[in-house]
Structures are given as structure tokens and as C-alpha cells.
Amino acid sequence: MAPNKVSAPLEIEVKFLFPSDAYPLLENTIALKAAGTAPAQMHQVTAYYDTPELDLLQAGFSLRVRQTGGQYVQTLKTQQSKRQLNFHRKEWEWHVASEQPDLDLLSGTPLRNWRKDFRGKLVPVWTSDICRTVHTFEHNGALVECSLDDGILWSGEKATDLQELELELKRRPVTALYDLALEFVANNPLRLGVLSKAERGYFLLGPVSA
């Protein structure tokens, strides 16, 4: 396994929700836009961790471990700013050995002083199971990762379906990301997704405040 390195702590993306019967139309639209590039298809099972008192949520963070093809990736993210239409968040990411979070990796993050408080207290509060198709292509000078997600989020006996289109900027200019988003909206039944997967998962737990 490669040495763990903290990724550049920045994520810029736009999310859209769509009805399940629109999946084939979106798939065709994206395939035309990404002509000549083969998509990556993957099955992702992700556990989101917090304390029973939801201390991470209250502090403005989400912590997850995602399993894809036998590999585990731990990710810490800040919450979305309520003043922004796009998702513009800080992000730290590491490869880990199992589905259990490695709290020592938080030493280079704003949660460095919380590690001892979290030991033995973090539990999976909700989980997602998603089939993802990813196209990566250039648009107006920018490199964009376009993901189609189809799956489910659950916590205990509560569950909700998820159909989501995610456009993530991998290389600027950022204006190209918005141009692409407008193009997709004009030709597909999309509505802006204002919640991250983490926020949608926390809603399954009932009324919470951050």
C-alpha cells in the first residue's frame, strides 16, 4: 500500500438530483459529452462515523470510510457553507487497512486535538450502498469528473433512495463547471441538490442541529 498522504484539502462540485426513470437519458447525455473516454463503474459501500451525541456533526465535520473493490479510503470533510450553491469544502483523504477509522491520521487536520476524545466512541451512524458510473473529460479548458450515483442510504430501519449526478472540478477554470451544469440542466430533468450525502444521511437520524 502506498504511504498515506494528506490530499489537497479542497473539493469543488455541483450536485443534482433526478427521478429514477431519467437515468437512461442522463447516461446517454453524459456519454455524448465524454465521447472517446471509457467510464469507470464501481460499487461503493460507505460508513459514516460519529459519536452517539453526534459531536462531529456539531463541530461541522463528517468522517467516512468507503470500501471500493476491496480498498478502503477514509475521508474527513467540512460541512457545506450555507452561502454557496456549489459544494466547496475542505477535504482530507487517506488509504486505510479496514472499515474502521484510523484516528491517528487526523493529526494533520483541525480535529488533531479531538483524537483522544473520540477513541472508543465513534460508531457507524449511517451507511450508503451505491453503484457509481464515472466519466472524466475536458470541458472549456477544465477537467471534470462526472458521476452518476444510484443507490440507497440507510440507518437502522430507516432508508432513502438516492439518484444523484455529481460534477466535480478536477482542474480549473471553475467557470467551466458552471457552464457544464447549466448545459445539463437545460437538457435533463434535474434539480439542484443542496445537501451532501452526509447531510442526507444525518436526516435519517431525525431532527438534529449543527
Segment 170-184 mean pLDDT: 92
Q: Is the pLDDT of residue 116 over 90?
A: no
pLDDT digits (tens, 9 = 90+) for 74-102: 999 987 655 444 456 788 999 999 999 99
Q: How many CA atoms lie within 13 A of 85 on its CB side?
A: 6
Mean pLDDT of the chain: 88
pLDDT digits (tens, 9 = 90+) for 54-66: 999 999 999 999 9
C-alpha separations of 66 from 18, 32, 156, 209 in Å:
24, 29, 18, 25
Residue ranges of alpha helices (H) inside 11-87 are 23-33, 55-59
The pLDDT value recorded for residue 83 is 46
Q: Is 182 exposed, middle or buried (0-12, 13-18, 19+ CB in 10 A)?
A: exposed
pLDDT digits (tens, 9 = 90+) for 136-172: 999 999 999 999 999 999 998 899 999 999 999 998 8
Q: What is the pLDDT of residue 3?
A: 41
Q: Write the pLDDT tens digit of every residue in 17-41.
A: 999 999 999 999 999 889 878 899 9
- DSSP strand E in the chain: where? 11-17, 40-50, 61-68, 71-78, 87-89, 91-96, 123-139, 142-155, 158-171, 191-192
Determine the length of the chain: 210
Over the stretch 3-16, which tens digit does the pLDDT of each residue have?
Answer: 444 444 567 889 99
Q: CA 10, CA 21: separation in Å to the nearest integer?
A: 33
Query: What's the whole-number mean pLDDT along residues 173-190?
Result: 93
* pLDDT at residue 81, rounded to an integer: 53
